[in-house]
Amino acid sequence: MIKVLLVDDQYLIRQGLRALLELEPDLEIVGEAENGREAIDLIAQLHPDVVLMDMRMPVMDGVGAQREIQQRFSDTKTLVLTTFDDTEYVAAALQYGAMGYLLKDTPSEELAVAIRAVHRGYTHLGPGIAKKLFAFSTEVEPTPPPPALEQLTPREKEVLRLIANGASNREIAKQLYISEGTVKNHVTNILNRLNLRDRTQAALFAKSYSSFLEDT
């Protein structure tokens, strides 16, 4: 059973989400909070597996709450559910460890799928969110690459560039004339060296530092 905490400043939204999610046999709503500060207090008490959280709330917003969740409750996963798809909100939420970002017009069945995916440790982004992030990452002023990027081998940087372009392991293997198993090893090394969770984070990272990857 996946324990879920609902965090939204609108009571009717919380009640609607509760009614929908309680229809899922593997999801349990363990509590509700109307702002980020309440959410932090309830996480300490209830130890939910997944926090389903809005962004704009009084007292403490979703970004502030997520920052504290990342620092204090590393085992708790956060899935953002909001009406705001501003790239700044999306980037900040993911930067501070949110595992997913969906808009409130997401169908209930997709929301349940996202909760399960986030609980398993996968990143889940709603339609168009990843595209907005990629566009945003190319518009912002480039920052110096982290030292870990220089630890990647030229081949690993090639693999990372292809991940950013959406290529699968099979497609990468075909393009670089290596086995699919070798690609998997490269991907594992990339994620470990850059301290990234999954391919989605790797793609976002590569987009942010694309100019440095192209220098090799």
- pLDDT tens string 60-104: 999 899 989 988 998 999 999 999 887 778 888 888 889 999 999
Quickly name the fold that domain 142-213 has. Arc Repressor Mutant, subunit A (1.10.10)
| Rounded Cα distance, 33 and 53, in Å | 9
- pLDDT tens string 32-63: 999 999 999 999 999 999 999 999 999 999 98
Write down the CATH superfamily of domain 2-136.
Answer: Response regulator (3.40.50.2300)
CB 106 within 8 A of CB 81: yes
| Rounded Cα distance, 154 and 1, in Å | 44
Which structure tokens are listed for 93? 């939420």
Mean pLDDT of 167-172: 90
| Rounded Cα distance, 179 and 173, in Å | 5
- Residue bearing the bigger pLDDT, 136 or 202: 202
pLDDT over 80 at 126, yes or no: yes
Res 216: pLDDT? 46
At 88, which helix (H) or strand (E)? Answer: helix 87-95
pTM beyond 0.75, yes or no = no
Give the C-alpha distances (Å, rounded to integers) separating 57 from 7, 8, 37, 53, 113.
9, 7, 10, 10, 25
Per the prediction, the chain carries an average pLDDT of 87
Q: What are the boundaries of each domain within the chain?
A: 2-136, 142-213
Residue type, 111: L
